[in-house]
Chain A
Amino acid sequence: MKFGKRNLVLSLALTMAFSALAGCSGNSNNSGNAKNAATEAPKASEAAADKKDVSAKDVTLELLYWGDDVQKKLVEAAAEKYTADTGVKINAQVLPADGTFDTFIQTRLQSGELPDISYMGEGDIQKYNEMGILADISDLLKDGSIPEKLPAITIHSPEQKVIGVGLSNQMELLFYSKSKFDEAGVSYPPTKVEDAWDWDTFVANAKKLTKDTKGKTAADAGFDASLTENYGLGFTAGREFHHFWAANANGGGIVSPDGKEFQWDSPKSAEGIQKLADLVKDKVASPFTYTWSTGIGSAVDALSGGYAMAISGSWDLANIKGNEDIGVGVLPKMEKAVTMNAGAPLVVYNTSKHIEEAKKFYAYMVNPENSLELLKSGAWLPNQADWYTDPALVDKWTGDLPESAKETILSYSTTKDAIVQWPAYYVPAYLKMNTEYEKSIDQALSGKKSVKEIYDSIMPAIKKLWESGKVS
């Protein structure tokens, strides 16, 4: 027994020592790798330039991206074409388009095995920039390898380096069900920014489209709000991107485009969000759910159910293909008619051993010509300004879109100041600020408290985070 205990103790101790050593060595290697890679990235690029005898065929780049089966096929086809053209092999790995993508990147970072290129969530790019692992791609724009992209999806670091450009452009749109509008005798929402409904018209129409179980609309006397069966408007309450447009439309904002003015706590911003919340309170609108990561069905599915209008992102255009009942219009006007845009960027990691090759592949990937199928489906909108103005280029991607969607998108894209940039792109502390915001805003959007009440309690902390100017 004694012998056994001694053995046990010895083996336990050895295993612990071994595992601890393994852990330590892993850490040091990882940090070492990452550190070396970070500091030696420029050296690596110089070396790559010097050693021209290294064949492109020996280079394999790893691309990490998210997407469904359609997107997977398109990305794989683009990668194969690139390999055929240049000899550079692409190891493209797909992940689901949800929160696990960021976790996966962080895990790869910890293990010192970052890919060469990856998609990246808009809200995460400043975080990874502060970690010092993103390559500066300003040179690609300067030397013309990448034609000028839409300013709203060209992402700068606080030091004004370009750290990414959006693979696509996305914007918030107003989807509607034509049959429900026809039934209520309401004219369709306009498709031109200058014709946007003012807020009162929008509310009046939303009321006409809201029905209780007895068939009375919210505009009729005797309407029973507690038995509302069909809502005039639906929107996703769980994500700030889907309602920030209202703050800007009402003459407020979140953070000014130059990043110098904090506008989030302004009375006009609060009032804009309150206008949306009031619709929920009056049972004229209802948030779909508070979920976004595993949302059941698209916003467009909601229009087939009990919603007459739905505010959602342009990516939902891919879901309306073949559905003649769905139309698209511009968002209503408060003080002004605006929408907010997004567009997940592609980034190059400075830890890449083949940084020059990675940058060339980057330029190839962000070229709209190489994502034509996605553009045609409506899942993506072009990331270059000339694709909205040059008729030949416009025809390339709008042929399959409903006319109302085409008109709305082109109107937003060609009207001055009609698109507001999502502050996630240019406010370093945005991730933390938004975390504080999302902790509480659902209480206002569900009508439990007023937006002002919520703002009074959370804005001092959010402003402090903005003033820090730091991600962490």
Chain B
Amino acid sequence: MNPESKTGVAPVYVKKHAKGATKEAVAGYLFAAPAIIGFLVLTLYPMLASLFYSFHKITILSGSQVMDWIGLDNYRYIFNNPSSEFKKSITVTLIYAFVNVALVIFFCLIIALLLNRKFIGRNMLRAIFFLPSVVPMLATTIVWQMLLQNQAKGGLVNWLLLQLGIAPVEFLTDPIRIFETLFIMSLWTCGGTIVVFIATLQDVPGELLEAIEMDGGNAWHKFLKVTYPTIKPVLFFQLIMCMMTSIQIYTQSVVLSRNGAPDRMTYFINVMIYDHSFVQVGMRGLASAEAWIVFLITMVITGILFYFQGSFKRDDSMGKRKRVRL
């Protein structure tokens, strides 16, 4: 029993404490209010509105928007109507996303490991790898287009190939080659991820690496036993972020081709949704339904990744950290 409870001091203290906590909470909410309001007005409300729209056929007649309730027809159209391009669009998007994530994570990790070593010119190389990521994707895509287009139009890469007696490559017009082009561009702009990995690699305990070295372990052992367990959480975070940005690919398709050419292979899901929303007529409800299905697919993929999050937890020697609830 608390001896102070009899003196009447404790209740006053509790009251004061509660008052302070309330003030603190109010201050906290006030600070968070802009973000909360922003989320509600600019994210949640449009999301709910688009869910509402997805059950309607939206047309404009005599200058005013007319919404006819059609229930699940938009969703039925997406999955059952042969004219729907959703399946092809989501397939090319997901193929791009999965391959791109694997390539980007692997490439960035390798480069970060190399740039983490001590050698002359390391900082310059770090800057070189980071620099392309600050250039807007639109500009990057235009530069790559100029490099890879037909030699007769001035494409430098194909011109060089021709000078070497090699047949030019249809980087921008072949359905498979266009994906290779997109992957190259993606790797070109992944300097941000490299920087994050380099920063994480600074956390790798040097004494453990030395210990492995003393035990006769090689670079692979060092990576597997020390480096990888340390950087796992960041790896997981980058995996999720890269997956999301890959699914949202848009600029490259719009700059490189029209209508998802060649053969609709760059008609990515965001391109299609934009097309249905703002270019085609009377398809805004359908575009909303498509956006919701993409949202659900992204949620499922993220969920699966989170399911495997356990394998990405940091299992360093400091043991598990307990989450403390205040």
Contacts and interface: CB of A to CB of B under 8 A. Distances in A.
Q: Do A and B bind each other?
A: yes
Interface of A: 1, 3-4, 7-8, 11-12, 15-16, 19-20, 22-23, 27, 30-32, 34-35, 37-39, 99, 102-103, 106, 109-110, 114, 127, 130-133, 213, 226-231, 234, 237-239, 286-294, 296-297, 301-302, 305-307, 350-351, 431-432, 435, 438-440, 442-443, 446, 448, 461, 471-472
Contacts of B254: 293-294
A15 B37 contact: yes
B258 A472 contact: no
A282 B296 CA distance: 47
Interface string B245-283: 000000000111111111110000000000000111110
Contact of A431 (B61, B256, B280): B280
Contacts of A131: 59-63, 281
Contacts of A22: 41
B36 interface: yes
A306 B153 contact: yes
A289 B40 contact: no
A30 B60 CA distance: 12
Interface in B146-161: 146, 149-154
Contacts of B151: 229, 306
8 tightest CB-CB pairs across the interface, nearest first?
A306-B152, A472-B282, A34-B63, A132-B62, A4-B25, A38-B63, A290-B261, A35-B64
Given A438-B258, A472-B59, A472-B281, A7 B64 contact: no
A306 B37 CA distance: 57
A296 B149 contact: yes
B162 A227 contact: yes
B153 A302 contact: yes
A288 B262 contact: no
Contact of B64 (A31, A227, A291, A471): A31
Interface string B270-301: 00000000111110000000000000000000
A301 B260 CA distance: 25
A38 B64 contact: yes
Contacts of A3: 22, 25
A106 B154 CA distance: 37
B44 interface: yes
B20 to A, nearest CB: 12
B206 interface: no
A286 B63 contact: no
B172 interface: yes
Given A34-B64, A439-B259, 14 more contacts: A4-B28, A11-B29, A20-B45, A34-B63, A39-B62, A106-B278, A110-B65, A291-B145, A296-B145, A296-B149, A296-B154, A432-B281, A443-B263, A472-B282
A234 B155 CA distance: 14
A312 B122 CA distance: 50
Interface in B69-111: 83, 85
Interface string B21-34: 11001101100010
A435 B282 CA distance: 14
Contacts of A302: 152-153
A386 B179 CA distance: 52
Contact of B258 (A1, A229, A231, A293): A293
B88 to A, nearest CB: 10
Interface string B297-326: 000000000000000000000000000000
A284 B258 CA distance: 23
A262 B242 CA distance: 48
A227 B281 contact: no
Given A8-B29, A12-B40, A19-B40, A289 B63 contact: no
A297 B146 CA distance: 10
Nearest to B138: A294
A432 B280 contact: yes
Contacts of B168: 228
Contact of B152 (A19, A307, A431): A307
Contacts of A237: 261
13 contacts: A1-B25, A4-B22, A4-B29, A19-B41, A23-B45, A34-B62, A34-B64, A131-B62, A133-B62, A213-B162, A239-B258, A301-B154, A435-B280
A351 B64 CA distance: 11
A132 B257 CA distance: 32
A375 to B, nearest CB: 29
Nearest to A292: B258
B258 A296 contact: no
B167 interface: yes
